[in-house]
């Protein structure tokens, strides 16, 4: 079975946050797999203006406060992002305390009502829990047109990425 699909001229943006590198690796793999289909892919790694310490990340008091209580944080990494350039936008986030990362929460609020392209969202976690359903509901609640959502469990991400790419092919046709 050939991976090639007639998707030339298609442009995809992958917008993600990654503190530990897990979500970054998934985004890079998605970029590689989509590029093999002749899709033009741009990646935007969103970062917090004040990043969290790597030491005992999930016990960091500021991280806990921002994840659970804060609506928005200062972010960077999206300055070149123009949603009007893309046929599809993927948004990826790690899951912390059953929620998307604060930087992604800020990004999706910032662009609510400004993105007309279809959305695919993915979450990364070490737990086999379907967090992407909740992320999808959050995006749809802000007016995004979510076509696909996928939970990527770290340690078994290859199959999830393959399944996501197959679903994306149907959107990009």
- What is the model's pLDDT at position 82? 97
Q: Domain range for residue 138?
A: 11-172
Mean pLDDT for 74-95 is 95
Task: Please state, rounded to an integer, the average pLDDT across all residues of the chain.
Answer: 89
> In this structure, how many other beta carbons lie within 10 angstroms of the beta carbon of residue 3?
10
For strands 40-48 and 75-76, give the pairing: antiparallel
- 116 found inside a domain: yes
Q: Can you give the pTM of this predicted structure?
A: 0.89
Q: What is the DSSP letter of 59?
A: G
Q: Minimal CA–CA distance to 142: which of 99, 110, 98?
A: 110
Residue at 4 is within a domain: no
> Could you tell me the two tokens for 30?
């998605």
What CATH number did the domain enclosing 31 receive?
3.40.50.360
pLDDT at 4: 44
pLDDT in tens, 92-149: 999 988 899 999 999 999 999 999 999 999 999 999 999 999 999 999 999 999 999 9
**Residue 6 placed within a domain:** no
């Amino acid at each position: 079975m050939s991976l090639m699909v007639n998707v030339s001229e298609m442009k995809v943006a992958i917008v993600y946050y990654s503190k530990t590198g897990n979500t970054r690796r998934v985004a890079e793999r998605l970029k590689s797999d989509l590029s093999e289909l002749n899709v033009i892919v741009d990646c935007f790694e969103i970062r917090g203006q004040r990043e969290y310490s790597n030491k005992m990340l999930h016990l960091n008091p500021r991280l806990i406060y921002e994840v659970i209580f804060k609506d928005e944080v200062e972010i960077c990494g999206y300055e070149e992002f123009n949603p009007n350039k893309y046929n599809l936008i993927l948004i990826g986030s790690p899951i912390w305390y059953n929620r998307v990362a604060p930087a992604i929460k800020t990004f999706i609020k910032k662009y609510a009502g400004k993105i007309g392209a279809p959305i695919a969202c993915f979450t990364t976690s070490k737990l086999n829990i379907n967090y992407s359903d909740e992320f999808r509901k959050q995006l749809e609640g802000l007016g995004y047109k979510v076509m696909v959502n996928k939970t990527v469990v770290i340690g078994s991400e290859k199959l999830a990425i393959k399944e996501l790419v197959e679903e994306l092919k149907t959107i990009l046709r």
